[in-house]
Amino acid sequence: MTTIDVNTGGFVGVRNFDDTIFKTNLEAAHVIARQLRLRNLGGIIILDFIDMDSEDHRAAVLAEFQKALSRDRTRMTLNGFSSLGLVEMTRKRTRESLEHILCEPCPTCAGRGVVKTARTVCYEVLREILREARQYNAREFRILASQSVIDLFLEEESHALAMLGDFIGKPVSLQVESSYTQEQFDIILM
C-alpha cells in the first residue's frame, strides 16, 4: 500500500486560506498522477489531500485528478473522498517499480530497514556458544565479531562472558573482524 500526504509546506495565500488549499490540491493532483506513472506504483493507494470544506472544491480536485490520470493507460479504480477526507484508489502495476529497478536491498539489514543492536548480537553470540558447547567438545571458543560487539563484550558484557566461560568450563576469546557488519559474527571452535 502506498500513502501520499499533501500539505502546503507552510505557504498561506495572500487572499484566502481556502483558495490556497484548493489551488495546492489541484496542483498536487497533477503531480501525484505523474508520479504514479513515473514510479509505476501499484496496489492500494491512499491520497490525503488537504481538508477542504467546500464540496465544490472536492469535486473539482477529484475531476482534475481523474483528468490527469486519463493519460495513464494502466487499469485503475478511483473512489471519491471518504468520510475521513481520503481518496482511495487502486492501480495495476505493469512492470517493476522504479524503486525495484534502481535500488537493491541494503547488504547490512537485508532490506529490513533496521539492524540489530550490538547488545542483541552479544546475546545471540552467548546463546550460540552455549548451544555449540553442548554439541562439541572444543578446547576453546573464539568469537569473531565487529568492533562494536567486541567492545561491548569487553566493557558492559564482560561479566556475562566470564559467567558463560565458567559455566561451560572452557575459555572464550575475542577477535575483532573489521570487515564484519554489526550483525555478523562467527564462533571458531579450537
Could you report the per-residue pLDDT of 142-178, keeping only the tens digit for each? 999 999 999 999 999 999 999 999 999 999 999 999 9
CATH number at residue 68: 3.30.110
Residues 92 and 135 in one domain: no
User: pTM for the full model?
Assistant: 0.52
3-state secondary structure of 76: strand
Residues 141 and 62 in one domain: no
Instruction: Give 95 or 2, the one with higher predicted confidence.
Output: 2
Give residue-wise pLDDT tens across range 68-104: 999 888 889 998 888 888 999 999 877 776 677 788 8
CATH number at residue 143: 3.40.1260.20
Grid cell 481523474 is found at: 66
Residue 113: inside a domain: no
Under DSSP, the state recorded for 170 is: S
**Where does a domain end: 55, 74, 102?**
102
Q: What percent of the chain has pLDDT over 70?
A: 95
Q: Which domain holds residue 149?
A: 118-189
Nearest to 76 by CA among 50, 40, 48: 40
Residues 84 and 45 in one domain: yes
Residues 91 and 135 in one domain: no
Q: Where are the beta strands (DSSP E) in the chain?
A: 2-5, 43-48, 76-81, 87-91, 141-145, 172-176, 185-189
Q: Mark residue 136 as left, alpha or beta (left: phi above 0; alpha: psi -120 to 50; beta: remaining).
A: beta
Residue 11 has pLDDT above 70, yes or no: no
Residues 97 and 123 in one domain: no
- As given in the structure block, the three cell numbers for residue 151 are 567492545
The pLDDT confidence band at residue 107, using thresholds 50, 70 and 90, is confident
